[in-house]
Amino acid sequence: MSVHIENLLLAGNILINMANENRVIVITGASGAGKTSVARYLWVKYGVPRVITHTTREPREGEIDGVDYYFETAQTWNDNHFIEEISYSGHRYGSSYEGLERAWRKSRQSNHPGIISLVVDTIGAITYRQTIKEQAVIWFVTVSDVTGLQKRLIARGDDPKHVLERTSSSDFERDMHIPDELAQDATMIVNDDWQLTQKTVDQVINRFMTDQVI
């Protein structure tokens, strides 16, 4: 099958999903703010599947292909159609239309079909908003105090030196603020206390699901 035909079929699948009003909750914000915890909570409590992203790095101990990441080689990477991708420490990371389709299919087995989640940085969130428009529902996860975040990360066992480097980086500073492109309709979730954050997520997701039904 030619690349042109593959792209036409892929575009057709995306258009079908748009017609079905499928949505992806794009969870963005700074590293360590709690994006993955929010996505995991959505899965455990509400059955909202998380989009699995791709990487060319080797699996770490305990990681499972298709669960933690889709682990790709340089050759298989190009078999996917990426919405956004980055290079970091010599490896490629990205999320694909194929990943969205698989997550949407999985969502059909849940109580909330058509709703999935995805964790990306703010650059990726902007790309999703520009690419799939209203299908991307933006949640911005942040903290009110960076020092408190540093203490929390160290308390959970992260290396203090790594935490300092991580929270001093230009990427962290960028992702601590809602980009202008997303500010108008992003939902902010302040994750200073996980118990309170869960209540906030409950309120936000229930309101969102009610709006979807209406």
Task: Read off the pLDDT of residues 111-141 as tens digits, 9 standing for 90 and up.
Answer: 889 999 999 999 999 999 999 999 999 999 9
Report the C-alpha gap between 173 and 29 in whole angstroms.
10
Residue 134 near residue 21 (C-beta atoms within 8 A) = no
For residue range 49-98, list pLDDT tens digits in order.
999 999 999 999 999 999 999 999 999 999 999 999 999 889 999 999 99
Q: Give the integer Cα–Cα distance in Å for 130 and 212.
A: 21
For residue 179, how many C-alpha atoms fall within 13 Å in the half-sphere facing its CB? 20
Q: How confident is the model at residue 20 (pLDDT cuts 50, 70, 90)?
A: low
Residues 197, 4: Cα–Cα separation, whole Å: 45
Residue 15 binned pLDDT confidence (cut-offs 50, 70, 90): very low
What is the reported pLDDT for 5? 47
pTM for the full model?
A: 0.87
- List domains and CATH numbers for the chain: 20-51+98-209 (3.40.50.300)
b/e map of 91-118 (b: 16 or more CB within 10 Å)? ebbbbbbbbbbbbbebbeeeebebbbbb
- CA dist 17 to 10, 114, 125, 138, 153, Å? 11, 8, 19, 18, 38
210 membership: H or E segment, kind and range: helix 194-213
Closest of 48, 68, 51, 50 to residue 59, by C-alpha: 68
Confidence at residue 9, expressed as pLDDT on a 0 to 100 scale: 55
How would you list the strands of the sheet with 70-71, edge to edge? 70-71, 54-55, 91-96, 82-88
Contact between 93 and 100 (Cβ < 8 Å): no
Structure confidence by residue, pLDDT tens digits, 149-203: 999 899 988 999 999 998 999 999 999 999 999 999 999 999 999 999 999 999 9
